Amino acid sequence: MALIKCSECDNDVSDKAAACPKCGAPVAGVKSKAAPSAAKTVKRAGGIWEAIGTLLIIASIPACVADNTGLGGTLAVIGFVVFIIGRFN
């Protein structure tokens, strides 16, 4: 560790420091450790399952209204399960 003079206030500063502790001026020749971070895009794989589950739930509404066999309720439950699987996938 060597001491160098600050270009702004002539204070002794470590050559490892990013800025002068007295005035805050950046130290010449020191590379910043903070590299610009690239934006990361996250792509979810469950979107198709969510869409299928939503369509099953929507299809269960007229099935519930049309008959009393329980097919609409079963379709709604299956659609909900498929939607949840897609949500966590």
Distance CA 4, CA 51 (A): 63
Angle between helices 47-66 and 71-87 (to 10 degrees): 170
Give the model's pLDDT for residue 29. 64
In SS3 terms, 35-75 reads as CCCCCCCCCCCCHHHHHHHHHHHHHHHHHHHHCCCCHHHHH
Query: Per-residue pLDDT tens for 12-65?
Result: 888 888 888 889 888 876 555 555 567 788 777 788 989 999 999 999 988 888
- How do the domains of the chain map onto residue ranges? 1-30, 47-87
What mean pLDDT comes out for the span 62-86? 87
